[in-house]
Amino acid sequence: MWENCLKRLETVLPKDQVTLWIRPLDVELVNDSITLEASNDIILNKIRTHFLTYIKAVLKELTGKEVAVELKLKQINHQPQTTPFVKKKSTTIKITDHLDPRFTFANFIEGRSNTIALAASLQTATASRVEENNPLLIYGSTGLGKTHLLHAIGNEIKKNNPKEVVCYLHSEIYVNQMVKAIQQKSMDAFKQKYRSVTALLIDDIQFFARKERSQEEFFHTFNYLLEGQKRVIITCDRYPKEVNGLESRLKSRLGWGISVPIDPPDYETRVAILKEKAALIQVDISDEVAHFIAKQLNSNIRELEGALSTLKAHANFTRKKIDLKYTKQILKELFKVNHQIVSVENIQKSTAQYYNVKLSELLGKSRKRSIVRPRQMAMFLSKELTDKSYPEIGELFGGRDHTTVLHAYRKMNDLLKQESELSEDKQKIVNILIE
């Protein structure tokens, strides 16, 4: 009866909405009443506000009478999910979750462009039956919130059950660790490590392209986890079928669960994101300024954040109030020739000028600390302020490997949180850059 109800609902509502929101509910039918259980408040509210009327109408149509519908929160069973394999080895394997607590569902702003991805992520994080939405694949271009959602899923899983063994990993790190494991002849430990998690979050799977050995190992780990009903959540910068150099068996396996797109944000979402981020970094912008920026920058959320940091840096420096005129003046270049002014080449020049080192040294091989730190700063800014990928930046820094850039990015990201002097350096370089 419920299945008939779902099928009928699929004819009156978008099918993906039924799949994401209504199908995962637990259902109990008793005589003339029905209880629907959701795994968290957000889903419960969504059902109440968006779908309850439809559900009642369809039930009436099918049964010929009014059916009482009760909505309830599901009791989540917090028993850790372990496999015999884990039990045997868990004492020796240390797994760091690498979760960033700053990225949560609470501070992820919903808009038309990400509603499905957000719903699927929430379901995956809170579903009591792991097979729902498993594996989950989130795909979309750069700077749209895929990594944010991965961390939010991991943080939510840990919040609901601290005993879950969650692990976030960028695909590049997986590849690097595997290369090291091969060199050190410690492949068994490497395999065990990732097979003993209860939720594996793998970012930017397109980096596996043409890395056959890593793909093969990941494929087996992936199967192992799915068979053991462990969550696997993956992101990719496009639909994986379009990634050249990914093995077809892996592509097909990725399609076993649910694949959800994340698109560039619409205007209203951009404004909402700007306001939220401005509050977060304590920069005071009016509605007028938020609307102005949202109109100018319309693709990438990382760019919106870059614009805010630039404004903040300038306003701090000049002690001026951020009104529309000032915003236009400061961000003029950023808007007009976003990709010409804020190019990797200009970032390199500005950084070299600020630290008083030669451009050739910055791009050269020197391992002196006085050169390495400026180089890492320039790499960090290149990733923050341009849409170049890690390999592309590596190439522009004297043909370096993308892992060097990734390392520099992470290192600077950590240091900037701890050292206020370094943040000031960063702001001053941005000033030189857009002067």
Ligand X SMILES: Nc1ncnc2c1ncn2[C@@H]1O[C@H](COP(=O)(O)OP(=O)(O)OP(=O)(O)O)[C@@H](O)[C@H]1O
Q: Using the rule CB under 6 A, is 305 a contact of ligand X?
A: yes
Q: Is 245 annotated as a binding residue?
A: no
Identity of the amino acid at 276: E
Q: Is 147 annotated as a binding residue?
A: yes
DSSP 331: H
Decide if 425 contacts 354 (C-beta within 8 A).
Answer: yes
Cβ 269 to ligand X shortest distance, Å: 7
Mark the segment that binds ligand X (CB under 6 A) among 246-254, 280-288, 300-308, 367-375. Answer: 300-308
Surface-to-core class of residue 125, CB atoms within 10 Å of its CB (0-12 exposed, 13-18 middle, 19+ buried): buried
Q: Using the rule CB under 6 A, is 120 a contact of ligand X?
A: no
Q: Using the rule CB under 6 A, is 108 a contact of ligand X?
A: yes
DSSP 50: I
Q: Using the rule CB under 6 A, is 146 a contact of ligand X?
A: yes
Q: Using the rule CB under 6 A, is 148 a contact of ligand X?
A: yes
Q: Using the rule CB under 6 A, is 109 a contact of ligand X?
A: yes
- Cβ closest to ligand X, residue 167 vs residue 406: 406
**How many chain residues are in contact with ligand X, going by CB under 6 A?**
17
Give the span between the Cα atoms of 296 and 304, in whole angstroms.
10
Q: Is 145 annotated as a binding residue?
A: yes
- Cβ closest to ligand X, residue 148 vs residue 426: 148
Cβ 115 to ligand X shortest distance, Å: 10
Decide if 199 contacts 230 (C-beta within 8 A).
Answer: yes
- Cβ closest to ligand X, residue 34 vs residue 273: 273
Single residue of 17, 39, 40, 114 touching ligand X by CB under 6 A: 114
Residue with tokens 């992820």: 108
Decide if 126 contacts 251 (C-beta within 8 A).
Answer: no
Q: Using the rule CB under 6 A, is 409 a contact of ligand X?
A: no
> What is the arrangement of strands in the sheet containing 166-170, beginning at the earlier edge strand?
166-170, 199-203, 231-236, 136-139, 258-261
Cβ 106 to ligand X shortest distance, Å: 10
Decide if 426 contacts 377 (C-beta within 8 A).
Answer: yes
Give the span between the Cα atoms of 400 and 221, in whole angstroms.
30
Which residues are 122's β-sheet partners? none
The interface mask with ligand X, positions 252-291, x = CB under 6 A, is ---------------------x------------------
Backbone angles phi, psi at 430, to 5 degrees: -60, -40
The interface mask with ligand X, positions 226-245, x = CB under 6 A, is -----------x--------
Cβ 242 to ligand X shortest distance, Å: 15
Residue with tokens 């059902």: 47
Give the DSSP letter string of 9-49. Answer: HHHHS-HHHIIIIITTSEEEEETTEEEEEESSHHHHHHIII
Q: Using the rule CB under 6 A, is 153 a contact of ligand X?
A: no
Cβ 305 to ligand X shortest distance, Å: 6
User: How many other C-beta atoms can be found within 10 angstroms of the C-beta atom of residue 61?
Assistant: 11
Looking only at residues 362 through 391 of this chain, which bind ligand X when binding is defined by CB under 6 A? Answer: none
Single residue of 39, 121, 126, 147 touching ligand X by CB under 6 A: 147
Looking only at residues 181 through 210 of this chain, which bind ligand X when binding is defined by CB under 6 A? Answer: 204
Cβ 17 to ligand X shortest distance, Å: 19
- Cβ closest to ligand X, residue 132 vs residue 204: 204
Output Rg (C-alpha) for the chain, integer angstroms: 24
Decide if 203 contacts 390 (C-beta within 8 A).
Answer: no
Q: Using the rule CB under 6 A, is 135 a contact of ligand X?
A: no
Single residue of 144, 197, 283, 377 touching ligand X by CB under 6 A: 144
Cβ 111 to ligand X shortest distance, Å: 7
From 286, 293, 291, select the one nearest 307 (Cα to Cα): 293
Cβ 273 to ligand X shortest distance, Å: 5
Cβ 127 to ligand X shortest distance, Å: 21
User: How many other C-beta atoms can be found within 10 angstroms of the C-beta atom of residue 227?
Assistant: 9
- Cβ closest to ligand X, residue 204 vs residue 217: 204
Distances (CA, A) of 237 to 138, 241, 247, 257: 9, 11, 16, 18
Helix, strand, or coil (residue 117): helix
The dihedral built from the CA positions of residue 310, 314, 319 and 325, taken in this order, carries a sign that is negative
Q: Is 143 annotated as a binding residue?
A: yes
Residues forming the site for ligand X (CB under 6 A)? 103, 108-109, 114, 142-148, 204, 237, 273, 301-302, 305
Residues of the binding site for ATP: 143, 145-147
Residues of the binding site: 143, 145-147
